[in-house]
Structure formats: C-alpha cells, structure tokens
Amino acid sequence: MAEADKGRNIFGSRQALVLSVMLLVQAAAFYGFSGVENVPATRPLKESPAQYNRWRLIQEGAIEQEILDVLRADDVVTRTYAQMDTGRVANLFAAYFRSQRTGQAPHSPKNCLPGSGWTPSASAFIRIPIEGLSEPIEVNRYIVERGEDRSVVLYWYQTPHRVIASEYEAKFYLVLDSIRYRRSDTALVRVVTPVTGGDEEAATQAAIDFVQSFFLPLREYLPS
C-alpha cells in the first residue's frame, strides 16, 4: 500500500529555493568538468518485455517526429498494457537520455500534461514497495482531468544510482553524479491509468501494481 506524503509541496518551498542557489554554484563545476563522460551501452527499449506478470502488451504506440524533435531523447518507448484478470489498461512511457551535458534533459510531465489539455487536480509523492528492493521507491502521483475524463499519472526520474521524484532533487543529483561518477544519463518513466467509475483509488492501485510488475525487468534497459 502506498503512503501519500500530502504535506509535501512539490511546486515550491524554502528548501527548493536553497537548493536552487546551491545548484547555481555547483553548475559551474558540472559544466566545467573536463573529464571524459562515462556513457554505458544500453539495450533498446523496444526490446523490453511484452508482458509483465499479469500485464500484457496490447498496443505499441508511436510518437510523432515533431514531438521526438522536441524531446531529444536517445531512446523512447510508449506502450499500452492490459491487466489480464481485470481488463484495466495502463500506458507506459519511458525516455532515455545518454547525457545531459549538451542540453538534452527530460521534460517534466507536470509541464507537458497541461500543454496537452490535461489539468492537474491533485498531486502528492507516494512510496511504492518493490519486491527485491530494500526500500520503496518514491514517485509523483497526479490526478489529471480533461473534460469528463480523469487519469492517474505516476512518474519519476531514474538514474544509475537512484529513483527520484522531485525535479529539484533530480537536478541536484545530476551535478553530484556527473562529478562523482562521470555520468549524467537518466530516464523519465511515466505511467497513466484512466479513472473509471469515479474510483481514483482503484486506478491508483492498478498503476502501482503495474509499476511493481515492470520496475525490475525494465531496469535492465535503463541506466544501471
């Protein structure tokens, strides 16, 4: 069961301001870092599994070239899976960036979704336990609306050493890992499940179950 950290404000805080100042100082070290970056080879995302436990691939998505040109990811996949025993569906989107030193970086869904006509009505951080990991992962949870449609959105940034929910923390660790490990590769992972019958909790639990099913297998195709 995920625990919502409703008291945390992800849109801005004194802590975020302090962190931003720190980043301005550290950015000089990051962009001036002269060492050769360690960019490991990865397996193509399109080769990732067509089935994760009870979730089976039902549609391979396609992304328009103009969107890919803006995204500037080195690898991307978008797929729709269905939960075989319930019929619930979930969309998986993953974008991998080999390096962020040349300005390539994930676009935050909290900015992209409103641009697509979706309006966030609720947000929180939640923690999802993953079998095989000693600690739960922390991700963003949004409820978004467009007309009469509502969906649950879970997303996070995945680096070689951690899963990050906060955009501010992602930037902080970008600098830290570039200096410490000579790596700036990262991935944005997003899951969207539609809300049916007005039951947001059921949609959230379906999204969580999907994440728990694919997290470890998909990690073989992402930074590690």
- The full 3-state SS of 133-161, as one line of letters, equals CCCCEEEEEEEEEECCEEEEEEEEEECCC
pLDDT tens by residue, 102-126 = 767 777 777 766 657 788 888 899 9
pLDDT tens by residue, 137-177 = 999 999 999 999 999 999 999 988 899 998 888 888 877 77
What pLDDT was estimated at residue 115? 57
Global pTM? 0.82
Tokens 């676009």 -> residue: 107
Confidence of residue 192 (pLDDT cuts 50, 70, 90): very high
Residue 210 tokens, joined: 């999907």
Q: Is the pLDDT of residue 18 over 70?
A: no
CA 178 – CA 54 distance, rounded (Å): 38
In sequence order, the 6+-apart residues with CB closer than 8 A to the CB of 99 are 37, 39, 184, 185
| Region of poorest pLDDT, from 56-60, 63-67, 209-213 | 63-67
pLDDT tens by residue, 75-96 = 999 999 999 999 999 999 999 9
CA 201 – CA 198 distance, rounded (Å): 9
In sequence order, the 6+-apart residues with CB closer than 8 A to the CB of 79 are 57, 59, 60, 61, 91, 92
| Region of poorest pLDDT, from 6-15, 66-75, 193-202 | 6-15
Beta bridge partners of 75: 96
- Cβ(2)–Cβ(126) below 8 Å: yes
